[in-house]
Amino acid sequence: MNADPVDNISGQRRRITFLAVLTLLLASVAAAAVALFGAATSAASMMAYSGAVESGASRDLMRVVLYFLLAGPFVAGAGLLIGWIVFWTRRPGAGVAWVFLPPLIWAALLLGYMWAISAFCEGEFTCGV
């Protein structure tokens, strides 16, 4: 029985190919773009939070929404860190997924929230809460 978990069934070591490295670099650029998008929207998020709280919205609910809006750079950074570590432990496909998917999920949820408040709440950030 082979003790090395990075060996596959045939006994050969997994190779990290040029295409895998290129894919990881492209996923890293996409994650960095999501992080920059999240950092760029932080000022607008803070203003929307303070305006909503002043207008009588639930402070706790608005704090949760604010933390969600500000989480983008942290999600992208954690995805980059975990993805690169997983990639270099000879799991290239999982590494690319860890780099790409967490920021993508955060951005999709953020855009879904923005769509919902524009479609159902007439653009009001708190949606009447």
Q: What is the pLDDT of residues 75-120, one digit of tens each?
A: 999 999 999 999 999 888 999 999 999 999 999 998 898 888 888 8
Q: Evaluate whether 101 touches 27 at the Cβ level (below 8 Å).
A: no
Give the whole-angstrom CA distance, residue 100 versus residue 90: 17
Question: Radius of gyration (Cα) for the chain, nearest Å?
Answer: 20
Q: Tell me, yes or no, whether 9 lies in a domain.
A: no
Does the reported pTM lie above 0.85?
Answer: no
Q: Tell me, yes or no, whether 7 lies in a domain.
A: no
Question: Is the pLDDT score of 41 beyond 90?
Answer: no
Report the SS3 class of residue 9: coil
Q: Tell me, yes or no, whether 1 lies in a domain.
A: no
Domain that holds residue 86: 18-40+72-120
Number of domains in the chain: 1
Q: Tell me, yes or no, whether 55 lies in a domain.
A: no
Q: Tokens standing for 96?
A: 């690319």
Q: Tokens standing for 102?
A: 């967490």
Residues 6+ apart with CB under 8 A from 57: 126, 129
Q: Tell me, yes or no, whether 23 lies in a domain.
A: yes
